[in-house]
Amino acid sequence: MNVPKGKIVAVCRSEKTGERKEPCPSVLLMEDYGIAGDAHAGEDTHRQVSLLAVESIEKMKRKGIEIGYGDFAENLAVSGLKLHLLPPGTRLCVAGRVVLEVTQIGKACHNKGCSIFRQVGTCIMPKEGIFSRVIAGGEVKAGDSIEVMKK
């Protein structure tokens, strides 16, 4: 059986909720906590780390908006995996050591539509962003592998 594999393209974090996350060289994922230094760490056990496919971001770019990694408040931008098709309970292995468990697909935008929704009338995070909790922690950086773990 083929194991779906992808790559981490960007890692991002912010100290406040509801704002753009800033790309950074690496992040430390902590078991049952989230990303050290990120606003969502420790507060909501099922939404510790957010992931969004690069392909989803590219779809929004084709609508004519200039957007970068972290603009959807995603922690990890991933290429090569159809994240929004992974059911809750799916486990992902990053860099051969960090384990995430998918807990939620999508979420409502802040304040009746985020700034992107207000600009173009749509946003991908509610349907294509996913959330996870940290099962096994470690450092994650752009270029790391990410793959769906076999059950």
CATH for 21: 2.40.33.20
Q: Into how many domains does the chain fold?
A: 1
Tens digits of residue pLDDT in 28-71:
999 999 999 998 888 667 889 999 999 988 988 887 878 889 98
Could you report the per-residue pLDDT of 105-125, keeping only the tens digit for each? 876 655 555 555 555 555 666
Residue 30, domain extent: 5-148
> What Å distances lie between residue 145 and 23, 61, 68, 92, 95, CA to CA?
18, 24, 21, 10, 5
User: pTM surpassing 0.95?
Assistant: no
C-alpha to C-alpha distance for 21 and 31, rounded to whole angstroms: 21
